[in-house]
Amino acid sequence: MHSQKNLKRKPVVAIIGRGECTVEEAAKVSETTKILAQNGVIILCGGLGGTMEAAAKGAKEAGGQTIGIIPGTNKEKASPYIDFVISSGMGEARNVLIVRSADVVIAFPGKYGTLSEIAFALVEKKPVISVGSWDVGEEIIKADSPTHAAQLALEIVKEDNR
């Protein structure tokens, strides 16, 4: 029997942002998640389209794993790039599950759903890295590029795994 202390789980980074995004925004999101996935990070998101799909697609292109916590109960609505679909049936209340399941949250531009996830993360004392998203306080770590956001997240999860 193996000791559980010897088993290390992979770090989980949540990617949050709007449900519809431009091609340029999607490219930035994918750039971030490709770097994270190449470094063994599991990508967690809301499991649907826009920023969420771009996050999952980037991770899958880099050989990574993805988790999507969808608001409804129909798993068929999840992005095809999601490996593990969690059908919450909770609507936007699933935002709390996304944040609580993550080690770090990376926020891309979004509306009030994104703002709620940032707020939940701050309440939970989770690191929030912003790539042009809501600026709601000095606790937000600002990244000046998708690559920078990935590097910051990797530094945080590496520090947490010591």
Q: What is the CATH number of the domain that holds 59?
A: 3.40.50.450
The answer as to whether 2 is a domain residue is: no
Strand ranges (E), the chain: 12-16, 42-45, 66-70, 84-87, 104-107, 128-130, 141-142
The answer as to whether 160 is a domain residue is: no
Q: Which helix (H) or strand (E) holds 94?
A: helix 94-101
The answer as to whether 129 is a domain residue is: yes
The answer as to whether 38 is a domain residue is: yes
pLDDT-flagged residues of the chain (< 70): 1-7, 161-162
Q: How many domains does the chain have?
A: 1
The answer as to whether 157 is a domain residue is: no
Query: What is the reported pTM?
Result: 0.94
Distance (Å, whole) CA 143 – CA 59: 19
What pLDDT digit, counting tens, does each position of 80-107 carry?
A: 999 999 999 999 999 999 999 999 999 9
What's the domain range around 70?
10-147
What pLDDT digit, counting tens, does each position of 56-68 carry?
A: 999 999 999 999 9
The answer as to whether 21 is a domain residue is: yes
The answer as to whether 44 is a domain residue is: yes
The answer as to whether 121 is a domain residue is: yes
User: Do residues 61 and 90 touch, judged by C-beta distance below 8 A?
Assistant: no
